Amino acid sequence: MATKNVIADLVKGEKLNGDNYDVWHKKMKFMLNEQELEEHLSKEMVAPTEAQPLRDHTAYQKWNQKDRSARYTLLSSLQNDLIGQYDELPTCKALWEQIKFSFGGTSTTRLRRLVIKFEEYTKDPKHTMNEHLRVMSNMIGKLRDAGHALTDEQQVRAVISENIKNFSDVSQHVILEAKTRDADKTLTYVAQEGPRNANGKRGRQTGNDMSSIVATKQWLSSTFEMKDMGEANYVLGVKIVRDRSKRLLGLSQETYIKKVIERFRMHNSKPIDTPMDKA
């Protein structure tokens, strides 16, 4: 009765459709192991001849009954349009190996499909950040299993990009502010009373909530050997300036400019005034 209930639940659940082989493969192994049928995925028994003793026939009948049950479980987990392609295979092992040959390979087409899916994936608005991170971790695992392991840098960049996209208006604001301020002022004000929206008004971005940031930091800490070192003071040589009393966040290029000047051996040059268009 328990086996029938398991299969009934399986029929209602997610089935193999050709794109979800990795998850399906793991679920089937778990399920058959629970039913004590996992050995049928890798072993077959040859039917005894009439000359063999009765105990061999009894053992084969017992094995054959279990193999039919395991085979039916696999067939029930396929989408309807796939069942007809595999229902003629005589044993669970033959069925398992043929499905693996069809969908479990690391063909160029399948790998390209996984890469495109990963690169184009965006956070589902209905998902929490933790759910979003689980989905991304699953896709990273699929790419690794297909022979396309991402570097730590690629994984981190992909995970935090969802938060970075929410601050796209900030980069535009930097450009606008830089055009209207004197060039000799190295401090560019980025945010005051919150970032600007697309319509130019100031306000809170929907994706800039602290829970998303906390979830992302937790994922990074659990996946990589990383820890929170507090607020950053420099990013790519650009100094981050904060003034919480005025609710200001700014970027100072002083250190970066000094490095550029030193690189071109101009650090000992005499400073002079130059004409400047301040319009």
**86 shares a domain with 111:** no
**188 shares a domain with 111:** no
Give backbone dihedrals phi and psi of 184, rounded to 5 degrees, phi first: -80, -5
**Rounded to 5 degrees, what angle do the CA atoms 188, 192, 198 make?**
95
User: Which of the listed residues 77, 103, 129 is the one where a domain comes to its end?
Assistant: 103
Q: Which residues pair with 239 in a beta bridge?
A: 234, 252
Residue 222 burial by Cβ neighbours in a 10 Å radius (0-12, 13-18, 19+): exposed
Q: What is the pLDDT of residue 276?
A: 63
Q: What is the pLDDT of residue 142?
A: 78
**198 shares a domain with 113:** no
Q: What is the pLDDT of residue 183?
A: 39
State how many domains the chain has.
Answer: 3
Q: What is the pLDDT of residue 210?
A: 67
Q: What is the pLDDT of residue 216?
A: 75
Q: What tokens appear for 188 in the block?
A: 């560019």
**278 shares a domain with 241:** yes
**249 shares a domain with 156:** no
Task: Determine the structural domain holding residue 122 and report its residue range.
Answer: 106-164+207-228
CA atoms lying within 13 Å on the CB side of residue 91: 16
- Judge contact between 220 and 159, C-beta under 8 A: yes
User: Which of the listed residues 62, 79, 103 is the one where a domain comes to its end?
Assistant: 103
Residue 31 burial by Cβ neighbours in a 10 Å radius (0-12, 13-18, 19+): buried
**97 shares a domain with 177:** no
- Judge contact between 241 and 145, C-beta under 8 A: no
Residue 99 burial by Cβ neighbours in a 10 Å radius (0-12, 13-18, 19+): buried
**261 shares a domain with 246:** yes
**63 shares a domain with 6:** yes
Q: What is the pLDDT of residue 244?
A: 78
**152 shares a domain with 216:** yes
Q: What is the pLDDT of residue 67?
A: 96
**211 shares a domain with 201:** no
Q: H helices of the chain, where? A: 2-12, 21-34, 54-76, 80-86, 92-103, 108-120, 129-145, 152-165, 168-180, 210-223, 254-263
For the chain, 279 residues long, the average pLDDT of each consecutive 10-residue run is 53 73 88 93 92 93 95 93 92 93 72 81 82 84 80 77 51 45 41 44 49 74 71 74 79 78 80 66
User: Which of the listed residues 53, 86, 103 is the one where a domain comes to its end?
Assistant: 103
**258 shares a domain with 213:** no
**141 shares a domain with 40:** no
